[in-house]
Amino acid sequence: MSNIPNWVKITVLVISLLLVVGFLAFGWFASSKILSVSMQTVNYDQVIKSISGDNYTISGSVYDHDGIFGGYNDGEKFIGIFEAPTNIDDSSQTSTRKLTSLESTKPSVSDSISLQGNIWLSDPKQALGLDFEDVKYQGPLGQMDAWVIKSDSSSTWTIGVHGIGAPKSEMLRFIKPVIDSGSNMMVINYRNDENNPKSPDGLTHLGGTEWQDLEAAVNYARANGAQTINLYGVSLGGSVVENYLRQSFDVTETNINKVVLDSPALDWKQILTYRIKKDGYPGFGFYPAVTLMKLRGVSVADITTEPEDIAHKTLIIHSADDSTVPQSASKKIAETRPELISFVDFMTGEHTRAWNHDPARYEQLVSDFLKQ
What pLDDT shows up at residue 1?
55
What's phi and psi for 8, nearest 5 deg?
-70, -45
Please, how many CA atoms are within 13 Å of residue 207, restricted to the half-sphere of its CB?
31
Instruction: Indicate the SS3 state at residue 22.
Output: helix
Please, how many CA atoms are within 13 Å of residue 363, restricted to the half-sphere of its CB?
14
Q: What is the CA radius of gyration of the chain?
A: 23
C-beta separation of 263 from 352 below 8 A: yes
| Phi-psi group of 87: left, alpha or beta (phi > 0 → left; psi -120 to 50 → alpha; rest → beta) | left
Q: What is the DSSP letter of 172?
A: G
Strands 133-139 and 156-161: unpaired
Residue 224: CB atoms within 10 A of its CB come to 14
152-188 burial: b if 16+ Cβ within 10 Å, else e: ebeebbbbbbbbbbbbbbbbbbbbbbbbbbebbbbbb
Block means of pLDDT (10 residues each) for the chain, 372 residues, are 76 84 90 89 91 95 93 88 96 95 88 94 95 96 97 90 94 97 97 94 96 97 95 98 94 88 96 92 90 95 96 97 94 96 92 96 98 91
Q: What is d(CA 259, CA 311) in angstroms, rounded to the nearest whole number?
A: 10
C-beta separation of 362 from 354 below 8 A: yes
Question: How many angstroms from the chain centroid is the CA of residue 17?
Answer: 39
What pLDDT shows up at residue 274?
93
Domain segments of the chain as ranges:
1-35+280-300, 46-116, 128-267+305-371
What pLDDT shows up at residue 9?
76
Please, how many CA atoms are within 13 Å of residue 313, restricted to the half-sphere of its CB?
12
What pLDDT shows up at residue 246?
95
The reply to whether CATH 1.10.3720.10 applies to domain 128-267+305-371 is no
C-beta separation of 241 from 170 below 8 A: no
What pLDDT shows up at residue 204?
96
Q: Which amino acid is at 135?
A: V
Q: What is the DSSP letter of 90?
A: T
What are the helix (H) ranges across the chain?
6-35, 124-128, 175-180, 211-223, 236-247, 268-278, 286-295, 300-303, 328-336, 354-357, 359-371
Q: Which amino acid is at 344?
A: V
pLDDT per residue as tens digits for the range 255-293 = 899 999 999 999 999 999 999 999 888 888 899 999 999
Instruction: Indicate the SS3 state at residue 289.
Output: helix
Q: What is d(CA 153, CA 172) in angstroms, rounded to the nearest whole number?
A: 19
Q: How far is CA 138 from CA 141, 148, 155, 289, in A?
A: 8, 15, 21, 33
**Closest C-alpha among 229, 238, 231, 230 to residue 262:** 238
